[in-house]
Amino acid sequence: MEPLNLRERPPRGPRVRLAGLVFSARVVDKLRGSLPGGEPAGYFMDIGVSAAWSHYTGIPLDELRDVVERAGSEEEVEAWIAARTAHLDRERFNAKMESLNSSRIPDAWREAFDGAYPAELVAAHPLLFDLIEADDALARR
């Protein structure tokens, strides 16, 4: 797939589904930003919601990055994710991801999280998906 410049536009929103799973499209966009010729623009891959997505799907992000880099289309990536997550209860997975709350950020990630999001934005949007959407809206201005 082609690399993305995430300075030009943020990755797709957290609720956009790929292979029936929320956050999957965002993970793919962030990985495309990390490809040669792309621009990750400071988006985290190894901590935060991307790491939670990786944990709950059982898909290592470095493995998915290799798939994204080799794929000729997003449909190929989607089919690969769908096959790797066929065992998941998608409704349960999506509900769990959508309920992630900023008050439960692990201590090891707290400094990066606090540096990425203004305190007033976090206070206004305790659910991480809402926070990400609000932050993306600010980035588009």
pLDDT given at position 141 = 56
Residue 17 DSSP code: E
Tokens of 134: 């609000």
The sign one gets for the Cα dihedral 26, 32, 38, 40 is positive
Supply φ then ψ for residue 87, to 5 degrees.
-75, -15
Q: Taking the CA of residue 68 as centre, how many other CA atoms within 13 Å lie in the half-sphere pointing to its CB?
A: 24
Give the DSSP per-residue string, 82-133: HHHTTTS-HHHHHHHHHT-BGGG--HHHHHHHHHHS-HHHHHH--BHHHHHH
Question: What is the reported pLDDT for 48?
Answer: 87
The predicted pLDDT at position 109 comes to 85
pLDDT at 88 over 60: yes
Dump pLDDT digits (tens) for 5-56.
Answer: 999 999 999 999 999 999 999 999 999 999 999 999 988 878 889 999 999 9
What pLDDT was estimated at residue 63?
97
Residue 86's pLDDT band (cuts 50, 70, 90): very high
Closest of 100, 102, 98 to residue 117, by C-alpha = 102
The pLDDT of residue 139 is above 80: no
What mean pLDDT do residues 122-139 have?
93
Domain ranges across the chain: 17-100
Q: Nearest Cα to 29, choosing from 10, 44, 53?
A: 10
Q: How confident is the model at residue 140 (pLDDT cuts 50, 70, 90)?
A: low
- Residues 6+ away with beta carbon under 8 Å from 105: 48, 113
**Is the CB of residue 40 less than 8 Å from the CB of residue 34?**
yes
pTM of the model: 0.93
